[in-house]
């Protein structure tokens, strides 16, 4: 009934992702972190290797795989660089609403140029006044003949300035609150769209974060995905899936921090011996490992539920919150284990600690995950 072994295909995918992550991403991760340069080349290579858009249907260029495979790959990429992983994951986040709700014709038109041809996409929900409270969004889409006219501002949008396609959530009927929100596929070069890089970030500096302003941006009515009013439901269903991947990225970052710490404590000598000899540090290492192993199980479980079409929202909230909390705790301990060296940019663990923080914030803060979990617990 329970089988914890990966299939041969899953093992091969894991090895492919690990080789790519360690040989191609890891060597340039410090440079990307320093410069904030967007990793176009790496994403191109990842696309050619089949490591992007894994859960999107293969008929449109995706991997045609499950969330378990996406999490296996996500952990490997994040163990090399969380910023590159965020840039890569943003595509899947943007394409998932189309995968869930678009017609076949729309999938061919909007998903294929991204997934098949290696384009970039961005998922646009958050606004200056609407973060956790998605329903507070003010971006309007008003029907005008056979077009919709979009006005409003989205911000904190990953891939926002570099994407070819934007999946945009906008209000079509303000009276209906969450039932008045709709989803549009919007080519990024649509007149009336201005995209601006936002300021410097604490971590994930290889990913692009942009503000997008829509000023009388007109899209064909045929770009409405699903029906008017479907937007909120599709956005929530998307998050329920993609946030498992944030937990997986957390495990990747935490694993890298533990590996760096194990190497360091065996080499660093104090009081005439390696600091690894001190039991106080050994217990910290053991706790780090306990957290990583249990987080991975929570993530695989949520992914398995999703792939088997079983109720997964509660498990995915746990996977996201726990995986990212573990990343924050383990990376903080990794810095502590390194002493003063851990605080210096020459040692990788300070980057891991900065990168871990965002995982607790985006795709629903960990407070919001706890709201979801508590709501499920308290439901009659």
For binding to ligand FAD (CB under 6 A), which residues are involved?
90, 123-126, 131-132, 156-158, 201, 204, 209, 358, 361-365, 367-368, 371
> How big is the chain, counted in residues?
380
The residue sitting closest to ligand FAD, measured at its beta carbon, is 131
Q: 182 Cβ partners below 8 Å, 6+ apart?
A: 141, 169, 170, 171, 172, 224, 225, 226, 227, 228, 229, 230, 231
Q: In 3-state terms, what secondary structure has residue 362?
A: coil
**Of the two residues 172 and 366, which places its CB atom closer to ligand FAD in the complex?**
366
Residue 340 CB, shortest distance to ligand FAD, in Å, is 29
Beta bridge partners of 144: 147
CB of 160 to ligand FAD, least distance (A): 7
Tell me the closest approach of the beta carbon of residue 373 to ligand FAD, in angstroms.
12
Instruction: Give the pairing type, strands 165-171 and 193-197.
Output: unpaired
Nearest approach in angstroms of CB 181 to ligand FAD is 13
- Terminal Cα-to-Cα distance of the chain (whole angstroms): 29
Residue nearer to ligand FAD on the CB measure, 18 or 233: 233
In the complex, what is the shortest distance from the CB of residue 325 to ligand FAD, in angstroms, rounded to a whole number? 13
Distance CA 151, CA 379 (A): 38
The residue among 47 and 354 lying less far from ligand FAD, judged by its C-beta, is 354
The candidate with the shortest Cα–Cα distance to 202, out of 325, 91, 83, is: 83
Q: Please, what is the minimum distance in Å from the beta carbon of residue 222 to ligand FAD? A: 23
User: Cα separation of 189 and 200, whole Å?
Assistant: 25
CA-nearest of 14, 19, 6, 42 to 207 is 42
Q: Six-digit token pair at 185?
A: 């596929």
Nearest to 342 by CA among 359, 360, 324, 354: 354
Outline where DSSP puts E strands in the chain: 121-124, 140-144, 147-158, 165-171, 181-187, 193-197, 209-220, 224-225, 269-270, 273-274
131 in Cβ contact with 137 (< 8 Å): no
Closest distance to ligand FAD from the beta carbon of 130 (Å):
7
69, 127, 211, 363: the catalytic one is 363
Instruction: Determine which helix (DSSP H) or strand (DSSP E) holds 73, and give its type and residue range.
Output: helix 67-80
- Residue 7 DSSP label: P
Pairing of strands 147-158, 181-187: unpaired
**Residue 137 C-beta: closest distance to ligand FAD, Å:** 10
363 catalytic? Reply is yes
Closest CA to 249 of 116, 71, 128: 71
Give the angle 199-360-380 at the CA atoms, nearest 5°: 135
The residue among 240 and 363 lying less far from ligand FAD, judged by its C-beta, is: 363
Contacts of 30 (CB under 8 A, 6+ apart): 345, 348, 351
Q: Which is nearer to ligand FAD, 125 or 258 (CB)?
A: 125
Show which residues are catalytic: 363
């Amino acid at each position: 009934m329970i089988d914890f072994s990966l299939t041969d295909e899953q093992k091969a995918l894991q090895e492919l992702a690990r080789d790519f992550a360690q040989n191609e991403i890891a060597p340039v991760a410090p440079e990307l972190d320093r410069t904030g340069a967007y990793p176009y080349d790496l994403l191109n290579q990842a696309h050619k290797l089949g490591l992007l858009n894994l859960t999107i249907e293969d008929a449109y260029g995706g991997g045609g795989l499950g969330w378990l495979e996406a999490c296996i790959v996500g952990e490997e990429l994040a163990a090399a660089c969380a910023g590159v992983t965020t840039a890569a994951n943003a595509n899947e986040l943007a394409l998932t609403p189309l995968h869930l709700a678009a017609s076949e014709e729309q999938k061919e038109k909007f998903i294929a140029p991204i997934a098949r041809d290696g384009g970039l996409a961005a998922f646009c929900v958050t606004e200056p006044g609407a973060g956790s409270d998605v329903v507070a969004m003010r971006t309007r889409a008003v029907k005008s003949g056979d077009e919709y006219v979009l006005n409003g501002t989205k911000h904190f949008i990953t891939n926002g300035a570099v994407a070819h396609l934007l999946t945009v959530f906008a209000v079509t009927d303000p009276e209906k609150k969450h039932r008045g929100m709709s989803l549009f596929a919007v080519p990024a070069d649509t007149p009336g769209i201005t995209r601006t890089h936002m300021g410097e970030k604490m971590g994930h500096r290889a990913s692009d974060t942009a503000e997008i302003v829509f000023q009388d941006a007109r899209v064909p009515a045929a770009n409405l995905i699903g029906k008017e009013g479907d937007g909120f439901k599709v956005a929530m269903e998307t998050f329920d899936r993609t946030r498992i991947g944030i937990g997986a990225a957390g495990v990747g970052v935490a694993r890298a921090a533990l590996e760096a710490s194990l190497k360091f404590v065996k080499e660093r000598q104090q009081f005439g011996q390696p600091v690894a000899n001190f039991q106080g540090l050994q217990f910290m290492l053991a706790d780090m490992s306990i957290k990583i192993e249990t987080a991975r199980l929570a993530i695989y479980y949520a992914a398995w539920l999703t792939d088997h079409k079983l109720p997964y929202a509660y498990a995915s909230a746990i996977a996201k919150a726990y995986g990212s909390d573990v990343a924050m705790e383990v990376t903080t301990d990794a810095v502590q284990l390194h002493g003063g060296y851990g605080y210096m940019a020459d040692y990788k663990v300070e980057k891991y600690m900065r990168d871990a923080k965002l995982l607790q914030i985006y795709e629903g803060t960990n407070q919001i995950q706890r709201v979801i979990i508590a709501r499920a617990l308290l439901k009659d």
